[in-house]
């Protein structure tokens, strides 16, 4: 998984702070990039939708108040007929189990089960200011749209933080 972070081989890379302006910049640039590539409409739309979810997830969950730990990485690699989207960011070790169990659950589901799970989450989603994210729909939506399993890894950094790598192939 760590080799997925090789930025020099990426067709798109952003490494740095993920604030509002940089998240917007990445989304706009990826939109332009995908529109100028020879992908089918289907792949372009899937890649862009997944980019939005991944980038907004980075923006929402970065350890914002620390100059070292508020940096992240977002990469797109181009393989034959497929696109790989990778993100990386620091998270607290206390968050690892929750992320891991959510992804493992999603990775166990068939496409039909994923669809039912998505509908169930949508049905019970609540509209509240306290719950401004995607109600846990993001991971499920990414898995559903890509048709592939989510790959992940957690690289040990220090006593408090790990570097969380997330990868999906479209």
Contact residues for other proteins (CB under 8 A)? 20, 23-24, 27-28, 41-42, 45-46, 48-49, 52-53, 56, 59-60, 115, 118-119, 122-123, 125-129, 131-135, 137-138, 141, 144-145
Asked if 166 contacts 150 with a C-beta cutoff of 8 angstroms, the reply is yes
| Tokens of residue 43, six digits | 């792949």
Instruction: Output the smallest distance, CB 16 to other proteins, in A.
Output: 18
Sheet containing 71-79: give its strands across: 12-17, 71-79, 82-92, 161-169, 151-156
- Between residues 16 and 133, which has the closer beta carbon with respect to other proteins? 133
Least Å distance between CB 99 and other proteins? 16
CB of residue 62 vs other proteins: minimum separation in angstroms?
12
d(CA 88, CA 54): 10
- Provide the β-strand partners of residue 27: none
User: In terms of CB distance, is 8 or 123 closer to other proteins?
Assistant: 123
């Amino acid at each position: 998984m760590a080799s997925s972070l090789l930025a020099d081989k990426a067709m798109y890379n952003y490494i740095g702070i993920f604030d509002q302006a940089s998240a917007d910049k990445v989304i706009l640039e990826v939109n332009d990039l995908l529109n100028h590539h020879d992908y089918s409409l289907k792949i372009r739309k899937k890649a862009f939708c997944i980019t939005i979810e991944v980038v907004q997830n980075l923006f929402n969950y970065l350890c914002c108040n620390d100059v070292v730990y508020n940096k992240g990485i977002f990469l797109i690699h181009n393989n034959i007929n497929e696109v790989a989207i990778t993100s990386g960011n620091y998270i607290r070790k206390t968050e690892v189990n929750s992320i891991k169990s959510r992804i493992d659950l999603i990775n166990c589901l068939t496409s039909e089960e994923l669809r039912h799970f998505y509908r169930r989450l949508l049905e019970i989603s609540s509209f509240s200011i306290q719950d401004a994210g995607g109600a846990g729909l993001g991971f499920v939506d990414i898995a559903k749209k890509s048709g592939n399993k989510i790959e992940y890894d957690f690289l040990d950094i220090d006593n408090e933080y790990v570097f969380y790598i997330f990868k999906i192939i479209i």
